[in-house]
């Protein structure tokens, strides 16, 4: 496993530790400099929905790499968010 993948997994674990059960993150796939996280849960969609994605970025940045949000695809039970690594 690459260190960026390991750091992403650690960030998912930390996010879930503090945000579950309202929001649950799951690493779906990774590329060379990007990754996709699925966010599910009973979170409020009217207020603060996108804040969970920014929160994940903060958890990741505390561990290692910085990331930006490339796209957000809302689903019936949450969203799939594609992040990119920022050098």
Read off the pLDDT of residues 6-36 as tens digits, 9 standing for 90 and up. Answer: 999 999 999 999 999 999 999 999 998 999 9
Q: What residues make up the domain containing 50?
A: 3-86
Q: How many domains is the chain partitioned into structurally?
A: 1
Q: In which residue are the tokens 């910085």 written?
A: 66
Please tell me whether the overall predicted TM-score, pTM, comes out greater than 0.85 for this model.
yes
Rounded Cα distance between 14 and 72, Å, is: 21
pLDDT of 2 > 70? The answer is no
CATH number, domain of 38, equals: 3.30.980
pLDDT of residue 3: 86
User: How large is the average pLDDT for residues 64-78?
Assistant: 92
Task: Write down the mean pLDDT value for the chain.
Answer: 91
**Omega before residue 21 within 30° of 0, cis:** yes
Q: Which of 39, 30, 41 is nearest to 7 (CA)?
A: 30
């Amino acid at each position: 496993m690459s260190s960026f993948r390991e750091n992403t997994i650690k960030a998912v674990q930390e996010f879930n530790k503090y945000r579950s059960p309202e929001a649950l993150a799951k690493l779906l796939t990774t590329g060379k400099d990007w990754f996709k996280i699925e966010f599910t849960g009973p979170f409020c969609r009217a207020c603060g929905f996108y804040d969970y994605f920014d929160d994940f970025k903060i958890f990741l940045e505390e561990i290692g790499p910085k990331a930006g949000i490339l796209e957000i695809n809302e689903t019936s039970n949450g969203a799939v968010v594609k992040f990119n690594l920022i050098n």
